[in-house]
Amino acid sequence: MNLIENLNKIFDSRIRLGIMSALMVNEEVNFNDLKELLNITDGNLASHLKTLEESSYVKIEKGFIGRKTNTTYAVTKLGEKAFKTHLTALEKMIGTMK
């Protein structure tokens, strides 16, 4: 089996990997928390989130806290599956080290 095939290109980026990691262990995370977690700019985060959204790995929910907009992100079923496959591939990859 080709190990590299199972490594997801979308998760090549550390930032997208970080976003997915956070979303896997939280029901939802809002934009600002993600920004602080990854320590990146608004624009940078938004573009990575867009990539994930376009692959249907992440879904967006726009809401309000008082008058302020609060955009939260959650992982989709598809995203969860893709992430798990990627994790397994990473582990197998490490297995080849020995």
Partner 1 sequence: MNNPQQSFEDLQHIKKMMERSSRFISLSGLSGIAAGLCALGGAWFASQKINCWVKGDCQLGHIIDSGGRKLMDELFWVATLTFVAAFILAFLFTFLRSKKNGLPMWGGSTVRLLWNTAVPLMAGAIFLFRMLQLGQYDLIAPGCLIFYGLALINGSKYTLGEVKYLGYGNLLLGIINLWFVGYGLHFWAMGFGVLHIVYGIVMWNKYERKA
Binding site for partner 1 (CB under 8 A): 3-4, 7, 11-12, 14, 17-18, 21-22, 24-26, 29-30, 32-33, 36-39, 87, 90-91, 93-94, 96-97
Largest pairwise CA distance in the chain: 55
Residue 26 or 55: the one with the smaller Cβ distance to partner 1 is 26
- Tokens 């920004």 found at: 35
Q: How far is the CB of 41 from partner 1 (least distance, A)?
A: 15
Whether 14 contacts 59, CB under 8 Å: no
Instruction: State the Cα–Cα distance between residues 53 and 12, nearest whole angstrom.
Output: 16
Q: Which is nearer to partner 1, 37 or 60 (CB)?
A: 37
